[in-house]
Structure 1
Amino acid sequence: MTATARELPAVPGGLPLIGHAVPYLRNPAQFLLRQHAALGEAIAFTVLGTKVASFCSPQLIAAVLGHDGSELNRQYMHFRLIPVFGEGHLFDEPPELLAWHKKVTRPVLRREAMAQHVTTMYQQAEQYTAAWGRRGETDILTAAREVTALMAAHCLIGPRYARVAGPALPDLLGHLGSALHLSFAIAPGAPLPAYRRRDRARDALTRTIKEIAPGDRPRGVDHGLFETIVGTPRPDGTTTDEDAAAAIILGLLFGGYGTTSTQSAWTGILLLRHPRWLSVVRAEQDALFADSATPTLQLLQKMEWLGHGVLEAERLHPPAHSIPRNVAEDVDIGGHRVPRDHMVIVSPAAAHRLPQVFSDPHTYDLDRYACRAEHRTTPSPLIGFGGGRHLCPGMPFAQQAIKVFWSVLLRDFDLELAEPDVRPARLSMFTPPRRPCLLRYRRRKP
C-alpha cells in the first residue's frame, strides 16, 4: 500500500442485504459502464453482502490481470470449481500444481497438435452436417454444443472415446456448467437436485475417461494424454494416479466445451444478422475453397474475415461477464486502495464496450480488426478468455474449432436465422443465446 492510495468511490443506492445485485446481475455491462462513467475508472459497490471493487480502464484491467497473486487470488472461483472436478484434484490443489497442469496438457494444445486437429475438426463438422439433408432447420446452440463436444473428445482424448462417450458429453458437461452457475448464488455443497446431477455427471465422466482413454490418442499424436499424465512426477514429488489424470482431462473437456460452443453460436448468429459482413466472409470461403483446397492450419489462418467475426463475437458476447479475484491483503491497484474484505472484478462485458478503445462500441463492425486494428492499440483490450498471467491456454483451440464449424456451414449451405432478434440468456453459464435460436439452411450445389 502507498500512502497516497485513494479510497474507492462508492456507488450510491443499493438495497438492504442484496445491495446492487439486481441491476448488476440483470445487465452487468450496462450497470458497470453507467457507474464508471459517473464515478471514474475504479468504483465500489455491494452484491449480496460482498463488497466489490470494479476496475474499468485498459491500464487498470491489465494491472489486475497481470498481478502475481500475492494479494489477489482466485479462491472465489476455485471454491465453486472444486465440487465440479472433485475434492483433492485440480482446483483443490496448491498453485504450483495448477501451473503444472497447464504444462502436462500442453502436448494436445501446441502448434503441431493444432495442425493435426484441423483435419479432425473438419471431419467432425462435415460428418455432423451430412445428416442434415438438402434443407431444414436446426437450433444453432444445440448444433454448436454437439459439434464442439465431438471435436473436443476426438482432439483431446481420441476417436474411441468420442465414439463411445461423445453423444452423452453435451448433457453431462451441461450438468457441470449449470451447477457451477448456480453455485454463485447457493453454496455448492447444498443438497439440491442440480448439485446431485453435477456429482453424477462428474462420476460418469471420470469413469468413462479412466475406462476408455488408456490406449486412445488423438489423430497424429504418438501418445495419448491419459497415458502421458499417469505416472508423471509432479512438483511435490508424487506421481499422478488415474483419478488425478482423469480430473485433469475432465478439466480440459469442460474448458474446451462450454465457452467454445457458446462463442461458436454467437459467431454465427451475429454474422447472419449482418448481411454486409456475411457476404464478405462467404466470399472469403468461396475463394479459399475454389480449387477444392484441403483444409490445413495454413488455410485456416488465411480466413482473416472469419477470424474477425470470431473476435467480434467474443467482444460483444464474452463467455463470462466478470472475472473475479479475492483480496487476500490490502492492495494498491493503480493508486486505488482496496481493503482485504473486498472482491476485485474486471468485466469483459464492460471493457469490450469502452469507447476509448473501440469506436462505436455497440456496433458490430469487422473493420475494427482489419483496418483499424483496435484490438492491438491497448493492453488487454479483449479479455473474454482472460489475460495477463492467466490467459486461457485453450483459447487457440476454441478459436480454431469455431472457425472450422462456420467454415463448413458457410461453404456448404445458404443460411438464415428463423428469428433475427436473438438475445442472451442472462441466467445461464457462459451467457449463451436464448433458445430457440433456429437456423434455416439449404445445401448449396457442390
Structure 2
Amino acid sequence: MRRTVFSAPSAPTPTHADGDGMPPRLEGGLPFLGHSLEFRTNPVSLMARARERHGDVVTLTMPGANAVVMTGTRAQEKFFRLSDEDVSQAEAYRLMTPIFGEGIAYDAPPPIMKEQLSFFHDALREARMRTYAQGFIDEAEQYFSSWDDFGCVDMYDVGNELTIYTSSRSLLGVEFRNQLSGEFAKLYQDMEGGLSALAFLAPNLPTPAFRKRDKARARMVELITDIVEDRRRRNISGDDMLQALMDATYKDGRKLSENEITGLLLTIMFAGHHTSGVTFSWMGILLAQHPEWVAELRQEQAEVRGDRAELTLEDLRAMPKLEATIKEVLRMYPPIIVVMRKVVNDFEFGGYRIPHGTMLFASPAVSHYIPELFPEPTRFDPTRFLAPTSADKKHPMGWLPFGAGRHRCMGIMFAQLQLRALWSHLLRNFDFETVQGEVYEPDYARLLVGPRHPCRLRYRRRSMA
C-alpha cells in the first residue's frame, strides 16, 4: 500500500527580479501555453518547485496573463491583506457567476458582496448551530445504521452523499431533505459539472456541460421559490439558512429576491458541502493508516460522554483532539489548493512590481508543507494543533484551508462542527482499515481536490460501541 502526499517545498533560493521588474520567472513551459498544462495536471508540484527555485514570489507564464505565486507567511499576508480596490475576486472567479448568479457574491460590487455575506451571520448564531449539530448527529445515525456489520466502501462517495443530506437539511430544512434531497444531489452534481478549466476562460459557451449547469440552476431557483412561497403562505418559519436569508434585508431596507436567496444558498453550499465531503474522506484514510491515534480519539470520546448515550453540541466542542485531527487533515489535504485574485491596480512587494492584469495565486497546499511552519510536514501529527502551541494560532497566515483575512470563509465553524459530529459517530461505532494495493493520492482533475477514485476502506462494526 502506498500513500502519496504533497511534497514539502525546500527552503527557497532568493533570486533577482525579471527584466520588467516582476518577480523571477520560473523556467520551462511550452510555447504559447507556458506552464498552463502542468498547472492543470499537478499545480501543487509546479508551485512548490517555483518556491524552491525562486523564493516566496515567483512568476508563472500563462496564456493571456502572467501569474504570480505568493507563498510563505509574509507574501501570503500581503496577498490576503490586499484591498478590493487593488485586486478583484470577481475577475478571478468568473466561472462561478453562472452558478451563483449575476450580482451575487463574487459578481457583486465589494460593498454589496460584504453585505450579502453578512446575512449568514444570523444563520450561524448559537441557536441555529445547536439545531445544525443535532441534524448532523441524526443524519449520521440514520445513514450508518443501514450499513452491514462489515464491508468495503468508497470514502469519497460516502462523504459526498452524506454531506448532501446534512447540507440540504441545514440549508433548506428537514422537509426538503426528506422529500427532495435526491433531486437536490443531482442538481448539485450538474452544477458542479460546469466547473472546469474551460469555465475559467469562457464560462458562458454553449457546451453540453454548461447547458446542464444552467438548467440545474434554473430548477434550483424553482425549488427554493416554492419553499419560500409556501412558508409565507402558511406563515411558518424554519430554523435553517433559508429562513435567515428570507428574514434578511439590505441596508436600504430591500428584501432579498428568490434569485438572490438561491444564489447565496449556493454560495455557502459550494463553500462548505464539497469541502466537508472531501475532508471526510481524507480523514477516514488517514485514521485507517494511524490506528494508534484512533485509540486517543476514542479515549477522548469516553472521557467527554461518560455513560451518556446522547451526543450534544457541548460534547462536540469539548473534544480538542478531534478538532486537532480535522485541522491536521485539512493541513495535509486542503480541498482548495489555490486561491486566486486578479490585479486591478499595480502594486509593489518585496522589491518587485506586480502590474494590473496579473493573476495572483496563494496556495494552501504549498504553505502547509513549508518545514519552517510545520516541522516534518509529510508526517500525520494532529498534536501540532493542540494548545498551547497550536500551529494555526502560531502561524495564522500559514494554515490556510479556509483562506485568511477579511475574506476568510465564514463557514469554517459550520464545516468543522459537521465533521466532528460525523466522525464522533464513526469512531464509536466502526473500525476502518486500508485496502491492500489501493493508492490514496490527490485527484487534481477536480476544482476541489479530493482523493482519486477509488479510495476504498474496509470497515467493521464495533460490537462494544
Normalization by structure 2: what TM-score?
0.88
Deviation (angstroms), 1:185: 5.3
Return the alpha-carbon distance in structure 2 between the equivalents of residues 192 and 87 of structure 1. 20
3-state SS of paired residue (2:66): strand
Confirm or deny: 8 A CA contact 2:322 2:420 kept in the other structure: yes
Deviations 1:203-230 (A, max 9, x none): 222211111255669xxx8665445534
Partner of 1:296: 312
Per-residue deviation, 1:348: 0.8
**1:351 and 2:363 aligned:** no
Report the Cα distance in structure 1 between the residues aligned to 2:256 and 2:167, rounded to whole angstroms.
23
Which AA in structure 2 matches 1:380? M
- The two structures have a TM-score, normalised by structure 1, of 0.92
- Post-superposition offset of 1:370: 2.4
The answer to whether the aligner puts 1:402 opposite 2:388 as a matched pair is: no
1:431 aligns with 2:431: no
User: How far is the alpha carbon of 1:231 from its aligned partner?
Assistant: 7.3
Q: Which residue of 1 aligns with 2:260?
A: 244
1:184 and 1:316, CA in 2 relative to 1: closer, same or farther beyond 3 A?
farther
Q: Which residue of 1 aligns with 2:298?
A: 282
Aligned-residue offset at 1:166: 1.4
C-alpha separation in 1, matches of 2:310 and 2:289: 29
Match of 1:383 among 380, 393, 400: 400
Q: Taking structure 1 as reference, are residues 107 and 387 closer, same or farther at Cα in structure 2, changes over 3 Å only?
A: same
Question: Secondary structure in 2 aligned to 1:425?
Answer: coil
Ranges in structure 2 where 5+ consecutive residues have no aligned partner: 1-19
Tell me if the contact between 1:96 and 1:235 (Cα under 8 Å) persists in the aligned partners: no
Task: Tell me the CA shift for residue 344 of structure 1.
Answer: 1.0
Give CA deviations for 1:157-200 in whole Å, capped at 9, x if unaligned: 21111112212333321222231234455511112111112112
Partner of 1:257: 273
Aligned-residue offset at 1:78: 3.5
1:334–1:379 Cα change, 3 Å:
farther
Q: CA RMSD in A?
A: 2.3
Name the CA distance, whole Å, in 2 between partners of 1:104 and 1:34.
40
Q: Deviations over 1:46-70 (max 9, x none)?
A: 1233201111110110121122211
Equivalent AA in structure 2 for residue 252 of structure 1: I
Q: Hey, what's the Cα distance between the residues in 2 that align with 1:144 and 1:213?
A: 29
**What is the match of residue 116 of structure 1?**
131
Go from structure 1 to structure 2 and tell me whether the alpha carbon gap of 1:226 and 1:421 turns closer, same or farther (over 3 Å shift).
closer
Matched, 1:331 2:347: yes
Deviations 1:12-35 (A, max 9, x none): 222111101233333222222222
1:51-200 matched pairs, under 5 angstroms:
51-184=66-199, 186-200=201-215
Aligned residues: 439
CA contact (8 A) 1:160 1:212 kept: no
Identical residues among aligned pairs (%): 29
CA distance in 1, matches of 2:92, 2:343: 13
Unaligned runs of 5+ in 1: none
| 1:308–1:227 Cα change, 3 Å | closer
SS of residue in 2 equivalent to 1:319 = coil
Contact 1:158 1:216 in 2 (8 A): no
Matches of 1:345 and 1:394, distance apart in 2: 22
The residue number in structure 1 matching 2:385 is: 369
AA paired with 1:294?
Answer: E
Report the Cα offset of residue 7 of structure 1.
Answer: 3.4
Partner secondary structure for residue 7 of structure 1 = coil
- The answer to whether the Cα contact below 8 Å between 1:178 and 1:429 also exists between their aligned partners in 2 is no
